[in-house]
Structure 1
Amino acid sequence: MKLHLEHVLSHFGRRRPNESRVNARIESKGWKNNVPSAARIITKWKPSGPIEIAMDSEHIEQLIYSQRWQGLTVMSTLEQGKRVIATRDFQPGEVVCDYHGRVVTAKEGRTIHKTTRLLFYKNCKGISMCIDAHLPKRDCHLEKETFGRLINHSRNHLNLRHRAYRMNYNGEVKDVILFIASKSISVNDELLFDYSVQRKSFNGECLKLCWF
C-alpha cells in the first residue's frame, strides 16, 4: 500500500487532486491490489516538488486556460464589496489560482482604465508590463468572472504570495502570475495578498516578482 500511495501522491505536485483525478491515475497505472482509496490518498496529499516547476503541471496549465479553479467563491457585501472566499482547505505551497487577463505593455495599460483591476509588473527581461483584467469577463471566458482580479489587499493578514512564470502552451508563450498559499487557508477564509503599493491603484507601480 505504501508503494502505491507514494507513487500517486508524487504525481500531483502543487494542486490538490479530486477523487476522479486520483482514480484516473490509479487506473492508468493498472494498479489492482493493495491500492488505497482516492479519499485516503487526498487526505495524505501535500504540495511537493520545487516551486520553480509549478508550471510544469499540465493540470495547472489547463486550469489557467479553462479558469475552472475549484475551492473558491465570490461573496459580495455592501460594506466590503466583492471578496474571494475559500470553500475548501488549502495547504501552504498549494497553487490557488492565477491573475488572469490580457498581457499588454505598461504604457498601454495606463491608457486602458484607471482601476485596481490592472496589475503592473516587470517581466523576466525587466520590461514594465501589465495584465489587464479591468473587464468583469474576458472574451475567452464570457460565462464567468475570474477570481484573481477580485482578491483584496492586506499587508498584515495576507495568505497568498505571487510568483511569475513563463508558460508555453500549444506554441504560445505567455507570462503567468500564480497565487500560491503562503500559509494554511481554511474554509470561509478570505484570500488576501500584498499589492506591494502604497496607493489604492496599481497604476504606475510594478510588483516585485520572482521569475521562474
Structure 2
Amino acid sequence: MPQEARVKRAIERETAWTTNVPFIKDVLLLWEPCDEPSVDPDDVLLINCVTQQKWKGPAIKQIEGKGKGVIATMTFKKNQIVCDYHGEIISKQEGEQRLETLNEEPSYLFFFKGKAGEPLCIDAQKHPCDCHPDQDTYGRRMNHSRRNCNLRPQRVSLNLQDGARECVVLLTLRDIGVNEELLWDYGIRRSSFGGEGSDLPWLDD
C-alpha cells in the first residue's frame, strides 16, 4: 500500500482538478495492488532483443515540435514489452557523480532498484553505446509525457550466458495503435533537482 504522503503528493500534482477531488483516506481504503506482468528471465526472444537491440515495432521519427521521438509501426497489446532502456549498468553513487558533471546537458541516466533492492543506474548518455556502435537505441529516444504516457518502466533480471543482468524494459500501459507516439513518464518534475527544470514546460505535459 502506498504511503499517505505519496498519495497526497500525487493528488496535489493534479492541478487541473477543481471538483470531485478524492480524499486521501478513500484512495488508501480502495487501493488494490496491480499485478505486475511476469517476465521469464530465460525468455530467449527477449534476451536476443536486449543483447542485439533488434526490437520489432518501434521506429525513430522526427516529431513536429519535439525533434526525434519514437512511434509504433505495429499494434501493441497492454502489458507488452516494446523495448528496453539500454545503457551501461552502474551503481547509484556512480550515476550521481556522472550527473554532476553534465552541467546543462540533457541527462539520460535512469535510477532504479535491482533485484536485491540495491540502488542502480542505467547510463544511456553515451550514444551510440560501446556494445552497439552502429545502432540508435529506442528507450533514450522516447519523449516524456506525464499525462499521456502509454509506456511504463519495469525492472527485470535476465539470465544471459555470462550471468544475470539487471535491465529495465518499457511495457505498454494500454493497447497502442500504428503511428502512435510512444511516451513514458521520466518521473521528474519542474521541482526536481532543486528546481533546475523550472523553465522546462514540457515536464508538465
**TM-score where L is the length of structure 2:** 0.68
Change (3 A) 1:73 1:118: same
Q: How many residues align?
A: 154
Q: Does the aligned pair in 2 maintain the 1:99–1:178 contact within 8 Å?
A: yes
CA contact (8 A) 1:109 1:118 kept: yes
Deviation of 1:53 after TM superposition, in Å, equals: 2.8
Structure 1 range deviating more: 52-61 or 134-143:
52-61
SS of structure 2 residue aligned to 1:53: coil
Determine whether 1:101 maps to 2:87.
yes
Q: State how far apart, in whole Å, the 1-side matches of 2:117 and 2:95 are.
A: 16
64-73 or 193-202, larger mean C-alpha shift: 193-202
Change (3 A) 1:54 1:197: farther
Pair 1:67–1:200, CA change in 2 (3 A): farther
Percent of paired sites with the same residue: 34
Cα distance 1:99–1:202, how it changes in 2: closer, same or farther (>3 A)?
Answer: farther
From the superposition, tell whether residues 78 and 201 of structure 1 become closer, same or farther in structure 2 (CA, over 3 Å).
Answer: farther
From 45, 50, 56, the equivalent of 1:64 is 50
Query: Which runs of at least 4 in structure 1 moved beyond 6 Å after TM superposition?
Result: 200-203
Per the TM alignment, residue 171 of structure 1 is displaced from its structure 2 partner at its CA by 2.9
Q: Are positions 1:80 and 2:80 aligned together?
A: no
Unpaired runs of at least 5, structure 1: 1-49, 204-212
Alignment correspondent of 1:175: 166
Query: Structure 1 residue 71: deviation in Å?
Result: 1.4
Amino acid at match of 2:86: H
Matched, 1:134 2:120: no
Q: Using structure 1 for the length normalisation, give the TM-score.
A: 0.66
Q: Secondary structure at the match of 1:139?
A: coil
Matching residue's letter, 1:133: A
CA displacement at 1:124 relative to structure 2: 2.7
CA RMSD of aligned residues (A): 2.2
Q: Would the alpha carbon gap of residues 199 and 148 (structure 1) be closer, same or farther in structure 2, given more than 3 Å must change?
A: same
